[in-house]
A and B are shown apart, each in its own frame.
Chain A
Amino acid sequence: MSISVGGNFVRKSGDTMTGPLTMGLNPIFLTDGSTGGAIKGNNSSTSKIDIRNKDDSSRGSLIISELSMSNALTISAGKLIDGVDVSAIPKAFGTPVARSPSTVYQAATDGFVMLLDGSGSDHPQGDFDGSNPPTTIRQRATNGANGACFIMPVLSGQYYDMVYGTAIWWIPIEP
């Protein structure tokens, strides 16, 4: 069944319809008469609401003032939310990787370098910038009897090194 509506269109509660509903200029208001607006799929596990442009099926939009979900929101990789490319949103911290002091590395992703220096006398320092060797000091710690530590964020593609440090770990943010 296919219905085309140019003005107001009212259906009674409990009525069912299959096939497309084509509307003119008016928006669609759906109510179930008891709990306010509702759009319900059928009982199939694949039930979904598909909103797409009639003439261009690759486009379509849905404006929601409040969204409540009982399950995960799945967004295709590379699609946009308010200008943010969701494929670039980091998922989680990766596995820490041990690093050596006074050694230059290039960050393959955004991440953090974590440094602990227990020598009690060194002055550990963290540098990073866009060329070799990195000479822009971003972090520095004064060592004492109980050692020194800091965490330095590093941008993807930048070069970094830690001067001194008895334990240094690279913690990547996985894309």
Chain B
Amino acid sequence: MKKFTVNTGYGYFVDKQGHKTLKAELPVGEHDLKDDFTYVEVWDKAALDLIQLYIDPIQADIDKNESEINKRVRDNAIAELINEGKIPPNYK
């Protein structure tokens, strides 16, 4: 296991594809680091807030589709229950 040292308390992780995946606010000192990642330190919280993290477009697409599926399943279930008179017609 690799180690890295936190000096300012603020930084972010970069994966082996070079993507900034997660920010970090960690106590000063030495920490364990997973093999496929590097840690980049920034000066302060304000600098950390400016960092834009990578969003995997494929995963984002999956999430979006999943949300749409969930919404339609829910809407259909509500419509069915309203038709059966089991819940009020204005149920949302």
Q: Which of B55-70 contact A (CB under 8 A)?
A: 63-64, 66-67, 70
Q: Is the CB of B71 within 8 A of A105?
A: no
Q: Is the CB of A103 within 8 A of B67?
A: no
**Residue B40 is within 8 A (CB to CB) of chain A in the complex:** no
- Complex interface: chain A residues within 8 A of B31 (CB): 106, 131-132, 159
**Residue A122 is within 8 A (CB to CB) of chain B in the complex:** yes
Q: Is the CB of B63 within 8 A of A121?
A: yes
A105-131 vs B, Cβ < 8 Å mask (1 yes, 0 no): 110100000000000111100000011
In the bound complex, how far is the Cα of B44 from the Cα of A125, in angstroms? 26
Segment of A10-18, A80-88, A139-147 in the binding face: A139-147
Q: How far is the CB of B64 from chain A (nearest CB, A)?
A: 7
Q: Is the CB of A132 within 8 A of B64?
A: no
Q: Is the CB of A104 within 8 A of B13?
A: yes
Interface SS, B side: mixed
- Complex interface: chain B residues within 8 A of A31 (CB): none
Nearest 6 CB-CB pairs, A to B?
A: A131-B32, A104-B24, A103-B23, A121-B67, A133-B13, A133-B22
Which A residues fall within an 8 A CB radius of B? 100, 102-106, 108, 120-123, 130-133, 135, 142-145, 159, 161
30 contacts between A and B (CB under 8 A): A100-B23, A102-B23, A102-B53, A103-B22, A103-B23, A104-B13, A104-B22, A104-B24, A104-B25, A105-B25, A106-B26, A106-B27, A106-B31, A108-B27, A120-B71, A121-B67, A123-B66, A131-B31, A131-B32, A132-B4, A132-B24, A132-B26, A132-B34, A133-B13, A133-B22, A142-B70, A143-B67, A144-B74, A145-B92, A159-B26
